[in-house]
Amino acid sequence: MNWTIRAILFGSSIANKLIRQNPGSIIVFTHQTIGDQVITLSFVQEYKKTHNIDRVLYLTSNRKSALVHCFGNQVDGIITLPYKDLHTLLHFYKSDFGQIYRKSHPELLCTFETAYIRNDILQKQKNFDYLDIEKAVFRISPASKPCGINSTAIDDNCIAKFNEKIVPGNTVVINPYANSCKGIPAAFFEKAAMKLMSFGFTVVTSIHGKQEPVKGTQGLAFTMIEAVPLFEKCGYIVGARSGFLDLAAQGTAVIASVDTPGYLYADFYRIEAWNTHKYL
């Protein structure tokens, strides 16, 4: 069944059930990618305080995800939906029917930007960025700062297994793989790795599954929960623009974000928008 048709047929039913099962709560949800969830969870507490909301719940498809682990203290509870149903709900909220529905049901808040504006206005956009949109959706001050990761949820001992492959404060993690910004030649990362090593850095490649490390580097397979303390210990990240870097931006590692020349959203999704530390 076409997603739009499914959304129209089942979206309002899913929404009504969520509201009925969670009376007296505001339910916040977004797309389940890393970056979108980091963005929403970084400002949800400011939203709660600004509007004097008693109870905010976060809707996700995985209550055991690394992002819930790192940001779960920002909300009053976690509720779940199967991914297919959550995807249907997102499509419903992006439709004309969803726009009408949400006006009369403010207790269910979708923070995904394209539920409010069209993709084409985001292309080559330099007047505002993705965090500006998030703050506008939450109706919080443009000066609002991200909450940062819950430090009590981070256990540095979880990365002890990587000690033989990294040099604290002098290791560059290269992440050449991204779903949002594709097409960066492998040769670029190979040359970057060689140059960095010639400067005396240890260089490792973030890999997952069957992905291959950049030539001349060691592969490092780590979970998202391990990512934050690992980045902090390494000190530097060079990566294709992705939600992976939004998570990294919550720490203090120096970030070099790489876009392809033809990536139309490079300005809108500029990593510097976090304005939390040092970027290259």
What is the pLDDT at residue 271? 92
Cα radius of gyration rounded to whole Å, the chain: 20
What band does 88 get if pLDDT is binned at 50, 70 and 90? very high
Counting Cα atoms < 13 Å in the Cβ hemisphere of 225 gives 13
What is the pLDDT at residue 278? 53
What is the pLDDT at residue 89? 95
What is the pLDDT at residue 277? 53
Average pLDDT rounded to a whole number, residues 139-149: 94
What is the pLDDT at residue 153? 75
Residues 223, 66 contacting (CB under 8 angstroms): yes
Model pLDDT for residues 200-236, shown as the tens digit of each residue:
999 999 999 999 999 999 999 999 889 988 999 999 9
For residue 173, give the nearest of 225, 210, 221 by alpha carbon: 221
Please state, as a whole number, how many other Cβ atoms lie within 10 Å of the Cβ of residue 25: 20
What band does 187 get if pLDDT is binned at 50, 70 and 90? very high
In sign, the C-alpha dihedral spanning 62, 63, 69, 73 is positive
Supply the pTM of this predicted model.
0.91
Model pLDDT for residues 14-61, shown as the tens digit of each residue:
999 999 999 999 999 999 999 999 999 999 999 999 999 999 999 999
Please state, as a whole number, how many other Cβ atoms lie within 10 Å of the Cβ of residue 172: 25
Average pLDDT rounded to a whole number, residues 89-102: 91
What band does 143 get if pLDDT is binned at 50, 70 and 90? very high
What is the pLDDT at residue 1? 62
For residue 176, give the nearest of 280, 260, 233 by alpha carbon: 260
Mean pLDDT of the chain: 91
CB neighbour class for 175 (10 Å; exposed up to 12, middle 13-18, buried from 19): buried
What band does 263 get if pLDDT is binned at 50, 70 and 90? confident
